[in-house]
Amino acid sequence: MKKFSWRGLSIIIFICVTAFYLAPLAIPNLPGWWSNHVLKLGLDLKGGMQILLEVDTSELSAADARGAVDQNIKIIRERIDQFGVAEPSIQKLGENRIMVQLPGVSDFQAAENLIKQTAMLEFKVVANPDETRRVLDSIDANVNANLDRFPALKELAELDRELLEEADDEASSDLGIFSSLIRPGQMDYEVQFDSVRLVQELLGNADFVQMIPAGWQLALERANAENPRADRPIHVLSSAVELSGADIARARVEYGSATSTDPRIANKPYVSIEMKREGARKFERVTADNVGRRLAIVLDGVVYSAPNIQERIGGGRAQITGRFTTSEANELSIVLNTGNLIAPISPASTSIIGATLGSDSIRSGSTAGLIGLAIVMVFMLIYYKLSGLITDFALIFNVGFVLAMLTAFGGTLTLPGIAGIILTIGMAVDANVLVFERIREELDHGKTPRSAVDAGYKRATITVWDANITTLIAAAVLYQFGTGPIRGFAITLTIGIIGSMFCALVFVRSIFDTFIVTGTKKSLSI
């Protein structure tokens, strides 16, 4: 009767654990608690999007900054949940970075906008035509007096002067240089498409903002999605914020009826908002005070719509229209519902991987792996005969073990991870080769199989440890300094090395021992 051995027990545990975690990959109808443990694929294999966001906390106190990052994560998570992504991962990295991974997302632009949008919603009163004219005139006067501070405008002014001299047209020579960029449209002043960029730059320029008379501000209207090269209206707004995003209770997408007379709504999605009690009161007061004027709905500094206030509006309901597509309207309503980000965020890096590329990578990665595995196995079989066959079994177990451990620890399989597995196939035989070569030497010295195996293992074990620990050190450093896919590589490499040592020193050895102790063979097939 064979006595109990720790080695035998460890092999049984090894095989059971491997089988447990690999079963969900092979068998379809397992109970939920079991099939939940399934190997996850990384973004580079599945396709999807990863954004590393940097939270700008420079304007917050240290205590607020810490809270702000967490609060932002909460808001982003809510937005993504409402957007509907399976298994998103949102993690805090370091002090003020957020890593967002959205596997399987296909509408990259929408997802990015959704996350990035700060969504500062403001309601502001639009200046009436007289006020608008006055504000523009005073901007012109201010800019003219400080023309040196705006090189782009100065250049334009000189160009104009030359043209005017040629035309000898004195009537329009008093037109200010800023006003020359905009022209009266049907309802509002409009900026020609060619000048939009210049105007946007000016509006973002702190020097230029000083040129605008106090109490007023300028804002462009949203670009027309159907006709992106169309002229864009520009509005002069009172800078007082009448209502903000904080006053909103709920936002939702609705569709305008086909018969509506407003082309912004007819048959198009729009976002209807419901205000909180306090907001509704404010809204009522603003509309009452400004009947006959227009109220602009401004989101992140861009005017979405500026409807006329025809009468006092109670009940706290309003609509944001602006020629939305359905998905845009959806995003906006999500962002309004989830609130403003506490601190501004900007993407530090973005990766997008199409689903096709991912599945191509899986296919070519596994092809390469199988071919490499097959060649190594055939070689081992020819070179070491029966012992090679044992190693081949161990090799297959080793690959299974790597996949099983990845599943067990909730790791993800990435493309570099596959490369790591393939490389460990090549390296895993190393421990066996070391031992086998040693056994052959001992046999050459005339030892019996039994003592050759013992001596071979005894001598080679130290070498196996020495050699593998250095690779483990390299893998640990990789893990520490790498991100995402590279960590995947380091993890598979580490598991592969540990597995291969176990296979060589415990698994193969026990087969050897059992075989030689119970067998009657006097020679060793090696």
Partner 1 sequence: MRLFNNTNIPFVKYRKIAYVISLILIVAGLIGLFARGLNWSIDFTSGVAAKVNLTALDSSVEPIQIDELRNVLKNNGYPEAEIQHVGPVQDASFMIKIKSETADAEVSGNAKNEILSIITENFPKHVEGMDINQDVIEEIYEVGPKVGSELRTNAILAVVIALILMIIYIWFRFELLFGLMAIAALAHDVIIIMGIFALTGKEITIQIIAALLTIVGYSINDTIVIFDRIREDLKIRRKEPLDEVINFSLNETLSRTVITSGTTLITALSLNLFGGIVLNDFAFAICLGVIIGTYSSIYISSSLVIDLTHATKKEKRTAQKLSGRR
Q: Hey, which residues between 409 and 448 contact partner 1 (CB under 8 A)?
A: 415-416, 419, 422-423, 425-427, 429-430, 433-434, 437, 440-441
Tokens found for residue 146: 């400080």
Binding residue for partner 1 (CB under 8 A) from 58, 470, 518, 520?
470
Interaction mask 384-403, partner 1, x per CB under 8 A = -x------------------
Q: Could you tell me which stretch among 28-36, 198-206, 370-378, 447-455 binds partner 1 (CB under 8 A)?
A: 370-378
Tokens found for residue 273: 């908002």
Is 475 among the residues that bind partner 1 (CB under 8 A)?
A: yes
* Closer residue to partner 1 (CB): 88 or 420: 420
Query: Does the CA dihedral 343-347-353-355 come out positive or negative?
Result: positive
Tokens found for residue 286: 């603003």
The least distance separating partner 1 from the CB of residue 341, rounded to whole angstroms, comes to 16
Task: Could you list the beta-strand ranges (E) of 4-116.
Answer: 40-41, 48-55, 89-93, 97-103
Q: Residue 374: how many CB atoms within 10 A of its CB?
A: 10
At position 334, the amino acid (one-letter code) is I
Binding residue for partner 1 (CB under 8 A) from 95, 451, 474, 514?
474
Q: Which residue matches tokens 């043209």? A: 163
Binding residue for partner 1 (CB under 8 A) from 62, 86, 382, 517?
382
The least distance separating partner 1 from the CB of residue 439, rounded to whole angstroms, comes to 12
Is 462 among the residues that bind partner 1 (CB under 8 A)?
A: yes
Q: Could you tell me which stretch among 26-34, 178-186, 213-221, 361-369 binds partner 1 (CB under 8 A)?
A: 361-369
Applying the rule CB under 8 A, the residues between 43 and 62 that interact with partner 1 are 44, 52, 54
* 422 in Cβ contact with 372 (< 8 Å): yes
Binding residue for partner 1 (CB under 8 A) from 39, 147, 396, 467?
467
Binding residue for partner 1 (CB under 8 A) from 19, 481, 514, 519?
481
Is 226 among the residues that bind partner 1 (CB under 8 A)?
A: no
Tokens found for residue 425: 């196939």
Tokens found for residue 25: 């990959």
Strands 269-275 and 248-255: antiparallel
Is 100 among the residues that bind partner 1 (CB under 8 A)?
A: no
Nearest to 24 by CA among 16, 12, 32: 32
Is 348 among the residues that bind partner 1 (CB under 8 A)?
A: yes
How many residues appear in the chain?
A: 526
Is 489 among the residues that bind partner 1 (CB under 8 A)?
A: yes
* Closer residue to partner 1 (CB): 129 or 228: 228
DSSP lists the bridge partners of residue 308 as 294
Binding residue for partner 1 (CB under 8 A) from 27, 277, 368, 409?
368
The least distance separating partner 1 from the CB of residue 9, rounded to whole angstroms, comes to 30
Q: Residue 275: how many CB atoms within 10 A of its CB?
A: 20
* Closer residue to partner 1 (CB): 123 or 384: 384
Backbone φ, ψ for residue 428 (5° rounding): -65, -30
Is 347 among the residues that bind partner 1 (CB under 8 A)?
A: yes
Is 355 among the residues that bind partner 1 (CB under 8 A)?
A: yes
Binding residue for partner 1 (CB under 8 A) from 176, 269, 449, 485?
485
Q: Which helix (H) or strand (E) holds 297?
A: strand 294-299
Q: Could you tell me which stretch among 126-134, 152-160, 461-469, 510-518 binds partner 1 (CB under 8 A)?
A: 461-469
Contacts 24+ apart (CB under 8 A), 90-93: 93/52
Nearest to 443 by CA among 519, 501, 521, 379: 521
* Closer residue to partner 1 (CB): 36 or 523: 523
Is 361 among the residues that bind partner 1 (CB under 8 A)?
A: yes
Distance of CA 67 to the CA centre of its chain: 21
Distance CA 167, CA 160 (A): 10
